[in-house]
Structure 1
Amino acid sequence: MADTLLETPVEGADTPSVHPLSMMTEAEAHAAIEVLRRSGRIGADARFHGFCIAEPPKAEVAAWTPGTDTDRRFEVVIHENGEVHIAVVSVTRGEVDSWTHHPGVVPRVGMAELFAVMDACRKDPGFAAALAKRGITDPSKVQIDPWPTGDYDFDFEIGRRVQRCIAFWRPNPADNGYAYPLDGLMVHVDVDTLEVLHVTDFDQWPVASERGNYDVDAVTEDFGPMRTDLRPIEITQPEGTSFTLDDNELRWQKWSMRVVMDDTEGLVLHRIAYDDGGRVRPIIDRASLAEMVVPYGDTRPSQTFKHALDSGEFGLGLMNNSLRLGCDCLGEIAYLDSVQVFDDGSVVTTPNAICIHEEDFGIGWKHFDWHADTTEVRRSRRLVVSAIHTVGNYEYGFFWYFYLDGTIRYEVKLTGILTTRSHREGDDLTFARQVAPHVSAPIHQHIFCVRLDMAVDGNANSVVEVNTEALPPGPDNPHGTAFAARETVLESELAARRNVNSASSRYWKIQSADHINRLGRPTAYRLLPPPTATMFAAHDSPHSERATFARHNLWVSPSRPDERYGAGRFPTQRNAGDGLERYTAGDRPVVDTDITVWHTFGITHDARPEDFPVMPTEYAGFGLVPDGFFDRNPMLDVPPSPNGHCA
Structure 2
Amino acid sequence: MGPITCSADFRPHHPLSPLTPREITASASILRSIYPANIDLQFKAITLHEPEKEQYLAWNNGEGPGPRPSRRAYIPYYIRGAEKFFESIVNLDSKEVESNIRQSSKVHGPADAAEIALVEKLCLEDEWVKAEIEKLKLPENMMVTCDPWTYGTDSLEDTQRQFQCFLYARPIDQPDSCHYALPLAISPVIDGRTKKITRIDALPTGNDFTTAHETQPWKPQPTNEYIPELQPKLRTDLKPLQVVQPKGASFSVTSDDASGTGKIMNWQKWRFRIGFNSREGMVLYDVFYDNRSLFYRLSLSDMNIPYGDPRPPYHKKAAFDFGDVGAGLMANNLILGCDCLGAIHYLSGYIADDQGKPVHKKNCICIHEQDAGIGWKHTNYRTGRAAVVRNRELVIQSIITVANYEYVLAWIFNQAGEVTYEVRATGVLSTCPIDDDIAPEDVPGWGTVVHPGVLAQHHQHIFSLRVDPAIDGHENRFVYDEAIPLSRDPKINPYGTGYVTKETVITNSCGINTDTEKNRRFIIQNSYKKNPVNGKPVSYKIVAPPFQKMLADKDSWHYKRCEFADQAIYVTSYRDGELYAAGKFTNQSHGGDGVRTYASREDNVKDTDIVVWVQFGINHIPRIEDFPVMPVETIRVMMKPVNFFDRNPAIDVPPSTQMFNRSTSLTYPQGVVKAVGNAKVGALVENSKGGCCSTSVEVSPPGSAGSTSEEEEDEDEDGGKEGEGEKGSVRHKETCSCGSIQEGQVGGEGKVGLRQKLGECCNVS
Q: Deviations over 1:60-114 (max 9, x none)?
A: 4342499x97743211112113222222223333222222333342111211111
Structure 1 position 188, deviation (Å): 1.5
Structure 1 position 342, deviation (Å): 2.0
The residue aligned with 1:556 is 571
The answer to whether the aligner puts 1:83 opposite 2:64 as a matched pair is no
The residue aligned with 1:342 is 353
Q: Deviations over 1:482-512 (max 9, x none)?
A: 3332211111113xx1112222222200000
**8 Å CA contact 1:16, 1:69 repeated in 2:** no
Structure 1 position 445, deviation (Å): 0.6
1:108 aligned to which of 88, 107, 110: 110
The residue aligned with 1:199 is 200
Q: Deviations over 1:93-137 (max 9, x none)?
A: 322222233334211121111111112221333322322232138
Distance in 2 of aligned mates of 1:607 and 1:500:
26
Q: Deviations over 1:130-188 (max 9, x none)?
A: 22232138899211112222221386xx43111111111122223211010113x2221
Structure 1 position 551, deviation (Å): 0.8
- Please tell me whether Structure 1 or Structure 2 has the larger radius of gyration of its CA atoms: 2
1:490 aligned to which of 482, 506, 510: 506
**8 Å CA contact 1:180, 1:207 repeated in 2:** no
Distance in 1 of aligned mates of 2:513 and 2:395:
29
Q: Deviations over 1:449-479 (max 9, x none)?
A: 0111111111000111122233444434343
The answer to whether the aligner puts 1:22 opposite 2:17 as a matched pair is yes
**8 Å CA contact 1:35, 1:95 repeated in 2:** yes
1:289 aligned to which of 300, 308, 327: 300
Letter in 1 for 2:148: P
Q: Deviations over 1:174-227 (max 9, x none)?
A: 3211010113x222111111011111123358545111111122113xxxx211
Distance in 2 of aligned mates of 1:511 and 1:217:
54
Distance in 1 of aligned mates of 2:230 and 2:139:
26
After superposition, the Cα gap between the structure-2 partners of 1:60 and 1:83, relative to the gap in structure 1 and judged at 3 Å, is: same
Q: Deviations over 1:335-360 (max 9, x none)?
A: 11011112233421011011111111
Q: Which stretch shifts more, 368-377 or 378-387?
A: 368-377
Give the secondary-structure state (helix, strand or coil) at the position aligned to 2:129.
helix
Letter in 2 for 1:493: S
2:322 aligned to which of 294, 307, 311: 311
**8 Å CA contact 1:467, 1:486 repeated in 2:** yes
The residue aligned with 1:322 is 333
**8 Å CA contact 2:138, 2:218 repeated in 1:** no
**8 Å CA contact 1:303, 1:442 repeated in 2:** no
**8 Å CA contact 1:422, 1:438 repeated in 2:** yes
Letter in 1 for 2:30: V
**8 Å CA contact 1:131, 1:137 repeated in 2:** no
TM-score using structure 2 length: 0.79
The residue aligned with 2:182 is 180
Structure 1 position 536, deviation (Å): 0.9
Structure 1 position 324, deviation (Å): 0.7
The residue aligned with 1:480 is 496
Give the secondary-structure state (helix, strand or coil) at the position aligned to 1:3.
coil
Distance in 2 of aligned mates of 1:207 and 1:346:
45
Structural mapping, 1:442-481, within 5 Å: 442-475=457-490, 476-481=492-497
Q: Deviations over 1:415-471 (max 9, x none)?
A: 100011222222523111111222121111100001111111110001111222334
* Identity, % of aligned positions: 36
The residue aligned with 2:562 is 547
Structure 1 runs of 4+ off > 6 angstroms? 137-140
The residue aligned with 2:222 is 210
1:514 aligned to which of 528, 534, 538: 528
Give the secondary-structure state (helix, strand or coil) at the position aligned to 1:182.
coil
The residue aligned with 2:678 is none
The residue aligned with 1:121 is 123
Distance in 2 of aligned mates of 1:312 and 1:291:
7
Letter in 2 for 1:578: D
**8 Å CA contact 2:137, 2:217 repeated in 1:** no
Distance in 2 of aligned mates of 1:434 and 1:478:
58
Distance in 2 of aligned mates of 1:362 and 1:174:
37
Letter in 2 for 1:88: I
Letter in 2 for 1:38: S
Distance in 1 of aligned mates of 2:287 and 2:217:
53
The answer to whether the aligner puts 1:39 opposite 2:34 as a matched pair is yes
After superposition, the Cα gap between the structure-2 partners of 1:570 and 1:501, relative to the gap in structure 1 and judged at 3 Å, is: same
Distance in 2 of aligned mates of 1:390 and 1:139:
28
The answer to whether the aligner puts 1:602 opposite 2:617 as a matched pair is yes
The residue aligned with 1:414 is 425
**8 Å CA contact 2:164, 2:190 repeated in 1:** yes
The residue aligned with 2:288 is 273
The residue aligned with 1:640 is 655
Distance in 2 of aligned mates of 1:528 and 1:381:
20
The residue aligned with 2:755 is none
After superposition, the Cα gap between the structure-2 partners of 1:205 and 1:505, relative to the gap in structure 1 and judged at 3 Å, is: farther
Structural mapping, 1:140-151, within 5 Å: 141-151=143-153
Letter in 1 for 2:253: L
Letter in 1 for 2:496: G
Structure 1 position 274, deviation (Å): 0.9
The residue aligned with 1:382 is 393
Distance in 1 of aligned mates of 2:305 and 2:502:
35
The residue aligned with 2:632 is 617
After superposition, the Cα gap between the structure-2 partners of 1:642 and 1:571, relative to the gap in structure 1 and judged at 3 Å, is: same
The residue aligned with 2:688 is none
The answer to whether the aligner puts 1:72 opposite 2:88 as a matched pair is no
Q: Deviations over 1:311-336 (max 9, x none)?
A: 10111111100001111100111111
Letter in 2 for 1:95: E
**8 Å CA contact 1:131, 1:139 repeated in 2:** no
The residue aligned with 2:242 is 234
Letter in 1 for 2:77: I
Distance in 2 of aligned mates of 1:499 and 1:512:
22
After superposition, the Cα gap between the structure-2 partners of 1:498 and 1:97, relative to the gap in structure 1 and judged at 3 Å, is: same
Q: Which structure 1 residue ranges, 5 or more long, are not aligned? A: none
1:51 aligned to which of 34, 46, 57: 46
Structural mapping, 1:558-573, within 5 Å: 558-573=573-588
Letter in 1 for 2:159: G
Letter in 1 for 2:353: F
**8 Å CA contact 2:24, 2:357 repeated in 1:** no
Structure 1 position 641, deviation (Å): 2.6
Give the secondary-structure state (helix, strand or coil) at the position aligned to 1:108.
coil
Give the secondary-structure state (helix, strand or coil) at the position aligned to 2:288.
strand
Structure 1 position 266, deviation (Å): 1.4
Q: Which has the higher contact order (CA 8 A, sep 6+)?
A: 1
Letter in 2 for 1:113: E
Alpha-carbon RMSD across the aligned residues, in angstroms, is 2.2
Structure 1 position 44, deviation (Å): 4.1
Give the secondary-structure state (helix, strand or coil) at the position aligned to 1:115.
helix
Distance in 2 of aligned mates of 1:369 and 1:320:
49
**8 Å CA contact 1:463, 1:508 repeated in 2:** yes
After superposition, the Cα gap between the structure-2 partners of 1:365 and 1:433, relative to the gap in structure 1 and judged at 3 Å, is: same
**8 Å CA contact 1:167, 1:181 repeated in 2:** yes
The residue aligned with 2:163 is 163
After superposition, the Cα gap between the structure-2 partners of 1:125 and 1:577, relative to the gap in structure 1 and judged at 3 Å, is: same
After superposition, the Cα gap between the structure-2 partners of 1:208 and 1:287, relative to the gap in structure 1 and judged at 3 Å, is: farther
Letter in 2 for 1:501: D
Q: Which stretch shifts more, 115-124 or 624-633?
A: 115-124
TM-score using structure 1 length: 0.93
Structure 1 position 531, deviation (Å): 2.1
2:643 aligned to which of 594, 613, 628: 628
Distance in 2 of aligned mates of 1:166 and 1:473:
63
The residue aligned with 2:273 is 258
